[in-house]
Structure 1
Amino acid sequence: MMRIVKGLGIILGILILYLCFWPVEIDPVAWESMADEGLVGDFSPNTFLSAADVFGSGDGIGPEDIDVDYEGRIYAPYEDGRILRYDSNGAHPELFVNTNGRPLGLEFDAKGNLIICDAKKGLLSATPTGQLQSLLTEAEGVPLKITDDVDIASDGTIYFSDASTRWGLGQYRNDIAEHRAYGRLIAFDPATNDVDVVLDGLYFANGVAVSPDQSYVLVNETSAYRIQKVWISGEKVGQSEILMDNLPGIPDGISSNGKGIFWVAFPSKRKEIIDKFAEKPFVRKMIMRLPEDLQPALERYAFIIGIDGDGNVIHNLQDPSPESFSPITSVEEHEGFLYLGSLTYEGFGRIKAPD
């Protein structure tokens, strides 16, 4: 019996040493997380998204962003590099292009080219016939690590996010665990090839949306639970401010409907354990030494809000059901419908937009 106890003690000691001292890649910092107020007030739970229809089941996994062309055809990027094109009813998929990377954000320019944020290949462009071209693989001498989301201003300038300058898509957990500000908002002018880092020091820069009046850009900071507003014209040009802070979910994609509403997608509510260990970087290193299956996982929860340019919540759409279409990572409004993307779901969603 004593031999068994001794053996268990040795195993426990080895485990403690491993969790405390085994080398890991990350160098986390302490940060102060504001108390999560939860789903109350403007964010009160509801079941609006339970009416969402799902398309593309069986076609692939992870159409993270969805876009629609001038003919009403739907484009969905999958994790294996394919971008499929569907008819306006979400049927008859055909291969539009294969980036041989991991396409994420999509946006059509004024010429009908599909601008693609590819986490592995950088910023790409595909002609209406599917001819692929690389636009950018670095900004100011720093390689793009996770080219994430994109929007295009009326003058043709492409605004996009580089979520992290240190970690690639397969290591995004490291970026979240470290909580260092590696993210960037970048502007690229395809007419001149000029590149400008509009804003850096972002905590996992994610969704990007240009305002209808072209005066500012919104960018989501996923691991800081907030939305930044960056002025690109007018008296405040070059300045930035926090539009919304201490959000009750993990903000991912954001898009403008062109009529004053910005749609924000939350793939999950906040996770208490992540906030709990915000000021304990040593504990976060211990967690990252665990097998991935034992690390804290975000809870699937269908959650979208529509906000105005001042950060007021106009629409609050949710579905708490475990059968919901979730996690939702993007929302695009087109002709009265919301198109829902997901980084991990098999297929994309669509639901009639609220009045």
Structure 2
Amino acid sequence: MGRAPDAGHPAALVPRHLVPLGGRGPEDVVADRRGGVLTGLEDGRILRVERPGAAGDPGVRVLAETGGRPLGLELLRDETLLVCDAERGLLRVGLGDGVVRVLADSVAGEPLRFCSNVVSLADGTVCFTVSSRVHPLARWIGDLVEHSGTGRLLSLAPGAGEPRVLLDGLQFANGLAVSGDGTFLVVAETGARRLTRYWLAGPGQGRSETFLDDLPGLPDNLWRAPGGPIWVALAGPRTAALDLLHRRGPAVRRAAARIAVRAPFRPPGTTGVLAVDDAGRVLHHLQARRSRFRMVTSVCEAGGRLVLGSIGEPGLAVCDLPGTAG
């Protein structure tokens, strides 16, 4: 178990250019093996950005439309895409023909109303998160304020008819990543500002524990390349008001949530990302203050750069990797 670094000493997150997408809300970004980046927009389109590092002509193509709201993505070896759709459930999308197939839309008779992020294991099992069983995507801020603890980690085995629940009671379950040796999952609990480890193998199989606690912001999507660190998007900085509210009773939190979902929301100008290894050590903490690109919900490496996604912005932000410039 580890603790995050002092939030007052991050390195600079250096922006280079923006990639306009002709639509809003590229909530998740994943890199492919050719240096491109895949993302999904609020209008249901799945896009590929061919050259995210090119400021002039990034080459944006539409690959498919889910008919819902795509969030977390996982690219498979056969060039199909797993998609957590907040409206339709867990999907599999053919990137060559654009065909969309529903893999799961309920568990134990309950609709999957807020699928969030997804990974595939070596044996073909798909693991994915549900952020909330109380609030849908349109009222996501209500769950963070209420601190409902209704997030879940689910798995769908090859040939299984419906998912099974691996973990329940998570605080806004969000991003997922697999350890380098495949023995555990790392789950982002946005509402608790922590990363949680779920053991897939070994003496602790089926158990969970804190992996990294007291993060300097709200962890959202996770991403890693083979042999690389886990990149953690921080959707917003830590706020004392939210920490204080989470220590109040359920009735107070529910009342505050009802107000929050009706109030206008302006994302803060502080954005950041972390890079974490499989021992829970923070390798990099990058931050930008007064950023014009707000509420970073995803991050990946592509073309020698960091590419950031956001649930609210009309494009992607391309930034320097640590230790590079220009």
Fold similarity call, TM over 0.5: yes
* Cα distance in 2, alignment partners of residues 334 and 353 from structure 1: 10
Contact 1:67 1:74 in 2 (8 A): yes
Q: CA deviation at 1:268?
A: 0.8
What letter matches 1:106 in structure 2?
L
Unaligned 5+ runs, structure 1: 1-36
Q: 1:340 aligns with which of 304, 308, 326?
A: 308
Distance 1:284 1:238, change over 3 A: closer
Q: CA deviation at 1:212?
A: 1.5
Q: Deviations over 1:166-199 (max 9, x none)?
A: 2211122222222121111111124444632111
* Cα distance in 2, alignment partners of residues 141 and 43 from structure 1: 46
**Structure 1 segment 1-355 matched on structure 2, within 5 A:** 41=6, 44-47=9-12, 49-57=13-21, 59-89=22-52, 91-129=58-96, 130-193=98-161, 195-281=163-249, 282-290=251-259, 292=261, 294=263, 298-323=267-292, 325-334=293-302, 336-355=304-323
The farther-off stretch of 185-194 and 229-238 is: 185-194
* Cα distance in 2, alignment partners of residues 74 and 108 from structure 1: 10
- Structure with the bigger percentage of strand: 2
* Cα distance in 2, alignment partners of residues 106 and 131 from structure 1: 16
Give the secondary-structure state (helix, strand or coil) at the position aligned to 2:280. coil
Distance 1:140 1:284, change over 3 A: closer
* Cα distance in 2, alignment partners of residues 84 and 287 from structure 1: 37
Give the secondary-structure state (helix, strand or coil) at the position aligned to 1:251. strand
Distance 1:226 1:40, change over 3 A: closer
* Cα distance in 1, alignment partners of residues 260 and 186 from structure 2: 35
TM, length-normalised to structure 1: 0.81
* Cα distance in 1, alignment partners of residues 65 and 265 from structure 2: 33
Identical-pair percentage? 34
Q: CA deviation at 1:53?
A: 2.4
Distance 1:174 1:289, change over 3 A: closer
**Alignment length, in residue pairs?**
315
Q: Deviations over 1:3-57 (max 9, x none)?
A: xxxxxxxxxxxxxxxxxxxxxxxxxxxxxxxxxx9x963761432x233421125
* Cα distance in 2, alignment partners of residues 294 and 280 from structure 1: 20
Give the secondary-structure state (helix, strand or coil) at the position aligned to 1:70. coil
Distance 1:279 1:349, change over 3 A: same
Contact 2:188 2:221 in 1 (8 A): yes
Contact 2:30 2:223 in 1 (8 A): no
- Structure with the bigger percentage of helix: 1
The farther-off stretch of 174-183 and 90-99 is: 90-99
Distance 1:241 1:40, change over 3 A: closer
TM, length-normalised to structure 2: 0.88
Distance 1:336 1:213, change over 3 A: farther
Q: Deviations over 1:265-289 (max 9, x none)?
A: 1011012211222233454444345
* Cα distance in 1, alignment partners of residues 159 and 188 from structure 2: 27
Distance 1:345 1:295, change over 3 A: closer
Distance 1:195 1:292, change over 3 A: closer
Distance 1:340 1:274, change over 3 A: same
Contact 2:92 2:103 in 1 (8 A): yes
The farther-off stretch of 103-112 and 271-280 is: 271-280
Contact 1:110 1:156 in 2 (8 A): no
* Cα distance in 1, alignment partners of residues 34 and 199 from structure 2: 32
Distance 1:88 1:111, change over 3 A: same
The farther-off stretch of 332-341 and 74-83 is: 332-341
RMSD: 2.4
